[in-house]
Amino acid sequence: MANIKTKKKNAWRENIEAILIAVVIAMFIRTFIVQAFKIPSGSMLETLQIGDQILVNKFIYGVKIPFTGGKTLIPVKDPERGDIVVFLYPEDPSKDFIKRVMAVGGDTIEIRDKEVFINDKKVEAEPYAIHKDNRIIPGKFSTRDNLHRIKIPDNKLFVMGDNRDNSHDSRFWGFVDLSEVKGEAFMIYWSWNKENWGIRWRRIGNLLF
């Protein structure tokens, strides 16, 4: 009888230990390697649809130490132009935002009638950018379509949504600090169309560029 009780206790202990180990591994992966995010808005259309669920590589920009304000323990590389990044929203750090990097520290950026100029050169190929509003808003009224030439400070990013006419981004609230960047989005692992109540099978597994 004693042996049966001992075996039951050992089984319970093994199960609890296995669960704890699994939780620790999952937290480690989520904190340092890969984290999942859900897309709640259309600011990155058509690249990302509302209801897409994505994986973000948190290691690619270096291993950040938790609760240190974004200090990096193991630097790998900095975000580059064209990367799709997840970061803490500067005006409310409790929220995660996702946008595309348009300019990095040391670059200049200017927008003239919806056309983007990086380092005084027009960005010719932007297959990801869409414009659904044909209106051109003068710069004195809004920075959406016209933005005076500015230089990006060191350790900062200028980001924009691919849905250029409907994205709240650096054109309106400024720069993203490198320490606030969580990682680079690299794949859609699930996509749910709430309007049609169905799975977007063709989007699952798509890599992001």
pLDDT band at 13, cuts 50/70/90?
confident
Cβ atoms of residues 80 and 125 within 8 Å: no
pLDDT at 65: 72
Which H helix or E strand runs over 6?
A: helix 2-28
**How much is the average pLDDT of 192-197?**
91
pTM given for the model: 0.87
Enter the tokens of residue 65: 């130490």
User: Dihedral (C-alpha) 113, 114, 116, 117: value to the nearest 10 degrees?
Assistant: 0
C-alpha 207: how far from chain center? 14
Higher pLDDT, 203 or 18: 203
Catalytic residue numbers read 43, 99
Enter the tokens of residue 39: 């897309």
Query: For residue 64, is pLDDT > 80?
Result: no
| Residue 78, helix vs strand vs coil | coil
pLDDT at 107: 98
Enter the tokens of residue 209: 């560029």
Domains (range + CATH), the chain: 2-203 (2.10.109.10)
Query: For residue 161, is pLDDT > 90?
Result: yes
Enter the tokens of residue 139: 């710069």
pLDDT at 25: 61
pLDDT band at 196, cuts 50/70/90?
confident
Q: How many CA atoms lie within 13 A of 110 on its CB side?
A: 9
Contacts with 161 (C-beta within 8 Å, 6 or more apart), sequence order:
43, 44, 99, 100, 167, 168, 169
Q: How many CB atoms lie within 10 A of CB 51?
A: 17
State pLDDT tens for residues 162-181. Answer: 999 999 999 999 999 999 99
